[in-house]
């Protein structure tokens, strides 16, 4: 399993944030929103595979970034920091 950070900006009427969040949550074995439009995923997929799946629902005006992560540092997150740290270290 690998760790990914997925972040997006929606600039059109479709998809909604809820639809995008649901699509992201279906891609990971474990996942969590770490900031408003930033998600962490533990997945066996690739960055390209995740991008291609999410790109299929985005409009041409929307933005998407998928990062394959090997390490991380943070201050505070929306998800419980210790749980995130444990999961991140296990998957890295």
Task: Compute the CA torsion angle 40, 38, 36, 25 (nearest 10 deg).
Answer: -50
Distance of CA 31 to the CA centre of its chain: 7
Mind giving me the DSSP string for 2-32? EEEEEEEE--SSSS-HHHHHHHHHTT-SEEE
The rounded distance, in Å, linking the Cα atoms of 54 and 72 is 23
The pLDDT tens digits of the residues spanning 21-52 come to: 899 988 878 888 888 899 999 999 999 999 99
For range 4-11, the mean pLDDT: 94
Confidence category of residue 70, pLDDT binned at 50, 70, 90: confident
pTM exceeds 0.85 for this model: no
Position 72 pLDDT exceeds 80 = no
Q: Which CATH number fits domain 2-91: 3.40.50.20, 3.20.20.210, 3.30.70.240, 3.30.390.30?
A: 3.30.70.240
Q: What's residue 91's pLDDT?
A: 59
């Amino acid at each position: 399993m690998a760790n990914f950070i997925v972040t997006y900006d929606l600039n059109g009427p479709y998809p909604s944030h809820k639809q995008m969040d649901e699509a992201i949550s279906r891609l990971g074995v474990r996942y969590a929103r770490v900031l408003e439009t930033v998600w962490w995923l533990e997945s066996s997929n690739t960055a390209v595979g995740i991008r291609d799946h999410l790109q299929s629902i985005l409009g041409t005006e929307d933005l998407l970034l998928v990062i394959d992560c090997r390490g991380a540092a943070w201050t505070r997150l929306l998800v419980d920091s210790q749980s995130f740290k444990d999961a991140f270290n296990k998957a890295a």
